[in-house]
């Protein structure tokens, strides 16, 4: 799968996804933070699932119908647990279930929804 990792999600997630064979780009690589709108547009343009801690992306996707290629949100997840949760999501759900969806992980609960386009 192709991922764009938001700065707030952390380098450990990016490194682990690379080890697992995924195509990963980190938002911190090219320049300072471009902002949520630009980050979501970047991920959509490159068909990358955006991994973030930030809840604001849900607002962009649901209320503003912003285009996206998929979103994995890990709000309030401590950094020590993020990598394990991403691995669990990827083990439990197929790329077809994740790409284009909004995946929200809270504790041990995973919610997957397909926003209207």
pLDDT reading at 90 higher than 90: yes
| 71 token code pair | 């979103």
Q: 65-76, pLDDT tens digit by residue?
A: 899 999 999 988
Q: Which domain holds residue 42?
A: 2-113
Mean pLDDT of all residues in 92-114? 91
- In this prediction the pTM is 0.91
Q: How many domains does the chain have?
A: 1
pLDDT value of position 77: 84
d(CA 51, CA 5): 5
Contact 79, 94 (CB under 8 A): no
Whole-angstrom distance, CA of residue 75 vs CA of residue 56:
10
Task: Encode pLDDT of 34-89 as tens digits.
Answer: 788 999 999 999 999 999 998 888 888 888 889 999 999 998 888 888 899 999 99
DSSP string across 33-79: ---HHHHHHHHHHTT-EEEES-THHHIIIIIS----S-EEE-TT--H
């Amino acid at each position: 799968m192709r991922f764009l990792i938001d700065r707030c999600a952390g380098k450990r997630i990016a490194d682990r996804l690379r080890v697992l064979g995924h195509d990963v780009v980190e938002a911190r690589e090219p320049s300072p933070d471009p902002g949520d709108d630009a980050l979501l547009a970047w991920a959509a343009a490159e068909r990358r699932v955006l991994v973030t801690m930030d809840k604001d992306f849900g607002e962009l996707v649901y209320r503003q119908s912003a285009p996206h290629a998929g979103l994995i949100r890990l709000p309030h997840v401590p950094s020590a647990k993020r990598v394990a949760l991403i691995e669990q999501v990827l083990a439990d759900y197929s790329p077809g279930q994740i790409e284009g969806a909004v995946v929200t992980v809270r504790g041990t609960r995973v919610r997957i929804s397909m926003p209207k386009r």
